[in-house]
Amino acid sequence: MGILPDLAADFGISEAAAGWLISGYALSVVVGTLGLTAAVTRLPRKKVLIALMVLFILGNLISALAPTYALMMLGRVVAALCHGAFFGIGSVLAADMVAPTKKSGAIAIMFTGLTVANVLGVPFGTLLGQNLGWRATFWAITLIGVIALVGIATLVPQIEHATDQNGGLRGELRAFRSGQVWLSIAVTVLGYGGMFGAFTYIAFTLTEVSGLAASTVPFLLILFGVGLFIGNIVGGKAADRSVDTTLIVLLAALTVVLVFFALTVRSQVATIASLLLLGGFGFATVPGLQMRVMSYASAAPTLASGANIAAFNLGNTLGAWLGGLTITIGLATPRRSGPGPA
């Protein structure tokens, strides 16, 4: 998100077209998650994670070298294909590595890793992009991918998984007979998508609507990440008590935060507060949403877990698309510096 303005300027594309690099990625996650997870349910999970990480490295390498917008998009798509399957299989593997009473905790720890990556990755990626160019950000991601690959190969144990006992792919698909699995996925798409619609264009909003300096964006994204980190921990603990009540309260609170953000976006202080709350309430929903799907598909959770990761990204795509649409048709709050919408 933070390097989107630089990318748009470098490739000579509009803000909405640059936004498609994010929503195109998210859409590819959806396709990749369902297709790849279904294809690898019988394969050893550790080997699958290694193969997926190689694909991720390749995609980011293409993005780092991309001379055109089309090749940039190709790199994003290749990297995205493995994203959902990686987190879907990873969360099930994390649960398999511990005693049955500690499975939720293991899943929460995996998502804590994801939140730390957001806390550090998004702002420092932005900082790197602003100072050394956006390609440096993708080179850094490629390097991190290589480190992650070595980490998986050396540290993740080889665990025999129970998918075969559940009937393989057929057993995994059987979990989708539950209406609650579908409803949980729908909540993920809609609830998370609303937050992401605002977040996709956050760099533009902060600088061109709220009037904050571009140099402050990485630090404001750290603030968003702090909210996200706290939200994940608090949301996970609350979901352990009652998943449904937690999700209802959090989604209601997130709605209030989004309305507050829209109404006070001209105020820099209120915008900073909104950013913290947006990260906090937005990501507090994630452990509960993932736990809800996996609990209703407990007999064969791999594909359902992956499908929920796909649902997060489908929500991202729809949210970013709707956000871009409001910019295109002029419904968004006007820029400070010019007549066009932001």
Partner 1 sequence: MTVLGLVVMVAAARGARLTRRRVASVALPVTAPVAAQVVDAGAR
Binding site for partner 1 (CB under 8 A): 169-170, 173-174, 176-180, 182-184, 186-195, 197, 244-245, 247-248, 251-252, 254-255, 258, 315, 318-319, 322
Nearer of residues 53 and 250 to partner 1, judged by Cβ: 250
Nearer of residues 142 and 290 to partner 1, judged by Cβ: 290
Nearer of residues 125 and 315 to partner 1, judged by Cβ: 315
Q: Are 308 and 90 in contact (CB under 8 A)?
A: no
* E-assigned strand segments in 254-341: none
In the complex, least distance from residue 247 CB atom to partner 1, rounded to whole angstroms: 5
In the complex, least distance from residue 315 CB atom to partner 1, rounded to whole angstroms: 7
Nearer of residues 59 and 197 to partner 1, judged by Cβ: 197
Tell me how far apart the alpha carbons of residues 159 and 90 are, in angstroms, rounded to a whole number.
Answer: 12
- Give the residue carrying structure tokens 């404001």: 220
In the complex, least distance from residue 227 CB atom to partner 1, rounded to whole angstroms: 16
Nearer of residues 172 and 208 to partner 1, judged by Cβ: 172
For residue 311 the two structure tokens come to 């649902």
Tell me how far apart the alpha carbons of residues 322 and 303 are, in angstroms, rounded to a whole number.
Answer: 28
In the complex, least distance from residue 258 CB atom to partner 1, rounded to whole angstroms: 6
Tell me how far apart the alpha carbons of residues 288 and 283 are, in angstroms, rounded to a whole number.
Answer: 10
Tell me how far apart the alpha carbons of residues 88 and 310 are, in angstroms, rounded to a whole number.
Answer: 9
| 3-state DSSP assignment of residue 341 | strand
In the complex, least distance from residue 300 CB atom to partner 1, rounded to whole angstroms: 11
In 3D, which of 312, 309, 337, 341 has the Cα closest to residue 326? 341
